[in-house]
A and B are shown apart, each in its own frame.
Chain A
Amino acid sequence: MSRLIISNVHKNFGPVEVIRGVDITIEDGEFAVLVGPSGCGKSTLLRMIAGLESISSGDIRIGERRVNDLAPKDRDIAMVFQSYALYPHMNVRANMAFSLKLKGVARREIEQRIKRAADVLGLEPLLARYPRELSGGQRQRVAMGRAIVRDPQVFLFDEPLSNLDAKLRVAMRAEIKMLHQRLRTTTVYVTHDQIEAMTMADRIVVMRDGVVEQMGGPLELYDRPANLFVASFIGSPSMNFVAGRVATDGEPRFLSDSGLSIPLARLPAAAPGRKLVCGFRPEDLRLGEGGFGAEVMVVEPTGPEMHVVVRAAGQELTCVLRERRNIVVGENLPLRPVPESIHLFDAETGGNLL
């Protein structure tokens, strides 16, 4: 059992509280991604799990043990750093052997473990090389190899792909995911890239200002964001937001301050009278009558779909269209959000009312 339990954890740097009461349970074998904008505390939290930062209050448990006061080496974790942090004066083999050597593992056992990890990651031909002789992707793999040989209960990744170019990042993303599917080791992965979070995670933890905004599976977060922040953070291009109120007469409709009228599927009980924000995903803004007209500002064909930035009642909205038709800048499009996919958020608390 290598469940990771973080309960009511706080962290202060002097008078500044950067982690403000975080509770997360990551199940055995789960791939959890901590995501959030920079400064949200995700890296600090990861470093607290690793033992690189002290815990101001609260508990962290790995498996059955409370690890608050344990040194990193005794926590049974392995960490992959953003910079890889490979020892430049050691070759790949020595880099991978270092922690085992310090632990006093027998030489034959070390060799076996290195061989096993090298097999998994395809590092065999690189073992005698030095880090400076490796490409970015190879260094990344060595860093993972160094983590694997320790056979830890928990893997910690600190933005491991941010130093790679876009194409390699996609490839390594898949590689890390496959590695996890093979090893099934509990993993905590920190990133600021929501696409990385969506594509890799079993469960995403969205953080902001030292608190957890929402936890859940990728689609759960995408389809049912708990609040405005999560709704705006997850998804690319990001969700459209329009401020306004619901109409109190006749059909359920949302009336924006700018004058747009948007049909709703249902009215939440708490909605009437309040200041609201209506949110709908770009792919839920479809061509069709019954909504509003919008002027095309920018057209970005991506191949399978088209990202179109439009202006409606003075407000910029993005829609993703699957129709293979010619759309020209300046054209007037009839648009309508899919009523079932609309979110209504309380303008003051940000909470999702639907």
Chain B
Amino acid sequence: MTAMSGQDSVAAPPSRLAAALSAHGLAVLFIGPAILLVVLVSIYPVFDAMSLSLYATKYAEKAGFVGLKNYIDLAHNPVVWHAGVNSLVYTIGSLLLVLPFSLGVALLLNRQSKMQGVLRTVAILPWVVSQTVTALLWAWLLNADFGPVTYGIDAIGGVRTAILASPTWAMVALVGINVWSSYPQATLLMLAALQTIPRDLYEAAYIDGAGPITSFLYVTIPLIRSTLLVVVIQLTLLYFNMVTLVYVFTGGGPLASTETLALLVLKISFESWNLGQGAALGLIVTVINLVFSLFYIRTLGRPKG
């Protein structure tokens, strides 16, 4: 009897271990490919860039270890600082416009309306258009010689404009089309969040004496707060890393007035063929992205309720 039960207790753990292992094995099998993919396309390149940024390069070849020289050169280059300022103007300017705009559209779409299906489709359209096409489309619309918008302004105001030739207006236009092309994704997320708010809460607030603005501030905003956080992080990263739209629309001009850090990474790496310095700047941009995200999570993501 005793011997039997002793044997049992010895025999039991391995079988449990085997079960745990096989359960584990299945999990590894499922998430393995995803982890492999992330390692290959995200993590490995970062470490590769870290190493590359410490070398002088000749085209795609490493030409000797230079330590932090690439970083020091970047820090002493006024073009980089100028691009940094442009990136901030572009990112913050776009965010300041896109958040109220996309929330406004989401609030409108959230109202009961017979036209809702049509309105939603129209509101989402800019998202369907690729960034390249958006940039080309608006470059054509604003073209100083034959752009319809230029023509319209001339016809109405009698002023011949060259928006893309003015450093200030080029940035304004860039921010504008950026907002136009990116608001739908923010709107969609906000709309989804708005639709999760039960109508009862608004009725309770109404009975409690809240008008539309009070309801918005005390019910809507707090309840879509976590979605707002996601939207802000997503858009900040999108804007800060934006290359396509800027590259095709203005190419960074006129007079480098729309040249952002992300665009500069591309230019240093593949126009000046200084891959080492490009990698260094790329890493700096990555770190700035991280700092942005952490800042948002700290300030907006404070759990409340």
A interface residues with partner B (beta carbon < 8 Å):
50-52, 71-73, 77-79, 81-83, 85, 87-91, 98-99, 102-103, 130-132
Taking a contact as CB atoms under 8 Å apart, the answer to whether A52 and B209 are in contact is no
Residue B214 is within 8 A (CB to CB) of chain A in the complex: yes
Which of B123-131, B167-175, B199-207 faces chain A?
Answer: B199-207
A95 to B: closest C-beta gap in Å:
9
Residue B237 is within 8 A (CB to CB) of chain A in the complex: no
Which of B208, B210, B222, B225 counts the most A-chain CB atoms under 10 A from its CB?
A: B208
Main secondary structure of the interface of B (DSSP, over half): helix
B220 to A: closest C-beta gap in Å:
11
A102 and B214 in contact, given A85-B201, A89-B222, A130-B305 (Cβ under 8 angstroms): yes
A264 to B: closest C-beta gap in Å:
51
B286 to A: closest C-beta gap in Å:
34
A323 to B: closest C-beta gap in Å:
49
In the bound complex, residues from chain A placing their C-beta under 8 Å from that of B201 are 85, 87
Residue B76 is within 8 A (CB to CB) of chain A in the complex: no
User: How far, in whole Å, are A82 and B210 apart by their CA atoms in the complex?
Assistant: 20
A88 and B223 in contact, given A52-B203, A81-B203 (Cβ under 8 angstroms): yes
Which of B204, B206, B209 counts the most A-chain CB atoms under 10 A from its CB?
A: B204
User: How far, in whole Å, are A72 and B222 apart by their CA atoms in the complex?
Assistant: 23
Taking a contact as CB atoms under 8 Å apart, the answer to whether A72 and B223 are in contact is no
In the bound complex, residues from chain A placing their C-beta under 8 Å from that of B222 are 87, 89
A/B interface sample: 12 pairs, CB < 8 A: A52-B203, A72-B207, A77-B207, A85-B198, A85-B200, A88-B223, A89-B223, A89-B304, A91-B305, A98-B210, A102-B210, A103-B209
Taking a contact as CB atoms under 8 Å apart, the answer to whether A51 and B200 are in contact is no
- CB-CB nearest in chain B for A88: B305
- CB-CB nearest in chain B for A156: B207
Which of A79, A87, A131 counts the most B-chain CB atoms under 10 A from its CB?
A: A87
User: How far, in whole Å, are A98 and B207 apart by their CA atoms in the complex?
Assistant: 11
User: How far, in whole Å, are A50 and B203 apart by their CA atoms in the complex?
Assistant: 10
In the bound complex, residues from chain A placing their C-beta under 8 Å from that of B205 are 87, 98
A51 and B214 in contact, given A88-B305, A90-B305 (Cβ under 8 angstroms): no
A277 to B: closest C-beta gap in Å:
41
A252 to B: closest C-beta gap in Å:
55
In the bound complex, residues from chain A placing their C-beta under 8 Å from that of B304 are 89
Contact of A73 among B200, B209, B219 (CB under 8 A): B209
Number of chain B interface residues as a range: 10 to 19
Q: Given contacts A79-B203, A79-B204, A83-B198, could you give 13 more A-B pairs where the C-beta distance is less than 8 Å?
A: A73-B207, A73-B208, A79-B207, A81-B204, A85-B198, A85-B204, A87-B218, A88-B305, A89-B222, A89-B305, A102-B210, A103-B209, A130-B305
Contact of A85 among B203, B210, B214, B218 (CB under 8 A): B203
User: How far, in whole Å, are A326 and B201 apart by their CA atoms in the complex?
Assistant: 54
B301 to A: closest C-beta gap in Å:
14
Within 8 A of A (CB), among B179-236: 198, 200-201, 203-210, 214, 218-219, 222-223, 225
B119 to A: closest C-beta gap in Å:
22
User: How far, in whole Å, are A17 and B79 apart by their CA atoms in the complex?
Assistant: 72
In the bound complex, residues from chain A placing their C-beta under 8 Å from that of B219 are 87
User: How far, in whole Å, are A82 and B201 apart by their CA atoms in the complex?
Assistant: 11
Taking a contact as CB atoms under 8 Å apart, the answer to whether B208 and A102 are in contact is yes
In the bound complex, residues from chain B placing their C-beta under 8 Å from that of A90 are 305
Taking a contact as CB atoms under 8 Å apart, the answer to whether B209 and A102 are in contact is yes
In the bound complex, residues from chain A placing their C-beta under 8 Å from that of B200 are 81-83, 85
In the bound complex, residues from chain B placing their C-beta under 8 Å from that of A89 are 222-223, 225, 304-305
A51 and B207 in contact, given A83-B198, A89-B223 (Cβ under 8 angstroms): yes
In the bound complex, residues from chain B placing their C-beta under 8 Å from that of A102 are 208-210, 214
Taking a contact as CB atoms under 8 Å apart, the answer to whether B305 and A72 are in contact is no
B206 to A: closest C-beta gap in Å:
6
In the bound complex, residues from chain B placing their C-beta under 8 Å from that of A52 are 203, 206-207
Shortest 9 CB-CB distances between A and B: which pairs?
A89-B305, A73-B209, A99-B208, A85-B200, A85-B204, A89-B222, A102-B209, A72-B207, A130-B305
In the bound complex, residues from chain A placing their C-beta under 8 Å from that of B210 are 98, 102
A78 and B305 in contact, given A88-B223, A98-B218 (Cβ under 8 angstroms): no
User: How far, in whole Å, are A225 and B45 apart by their CA atoms in the complex?
Assistant: 82
User: How far, in whole Å, are A121 and B225 apart by their CA atoms in the complex?
Assistant: 32
- CB-CB nearest in chain A for B206: A72
A315 to B: closest C-beta gap in Å:
45
User: How far, in whole Å, are A87 and B214 apart by their CA atoms in the complex?
Assistant: 13
In the bound complex, residues from chain B placing their C-beta under 8 Å from that of A51 are 207
- CB-CB nearest in chain A for B305: A89
In the bound complex, residues from chain A placing their C-beta under 8 Å from that of B198 are 83, 85
User: How far, in whole Å, are A51 and B206 apart by their CA atoms in the complex?
Assistant: 9
- CB-CB nearest in chain A for B200: A85
- CB-CB nearest in chain B for A52: B203
A10 to B: closest C-beta gap in Å:
22
Residue interface mask B145-156, A partner, CB < 8 A = 1: 000000000000
A219 to B: closest C-beta gap in Å:
34
User: How far, in whole Å, are A102 and B218 apart by their CA atoms in the complex?
Assistant: 11
B216 to A: closest C-beta gap in Å:
13
- CB-CB nearest in chain B for A73: B209
In the bound complex, residues from chain B placing their C-beta under 8 Å from that of A132 are 305
User: How far, in whole Å, are A131 and B214 apart by their CA atoms in the complex?
Assistant: 21
User: How far, in whole Å, are A85 and B205 apart by their CA atoms in the complex?
Assistant: 9
In the bound complex, residues from chain B placing their C-beta under 8 Å from that of A83 are 198, 200
B255 to A: closest C-beta gap in Å:
48
User: How far, in whole Å, are A5 and B228 apart by their CA atoms in the complex?
Assistant: 46
- CB-CB nearest in chain A for B209: A73
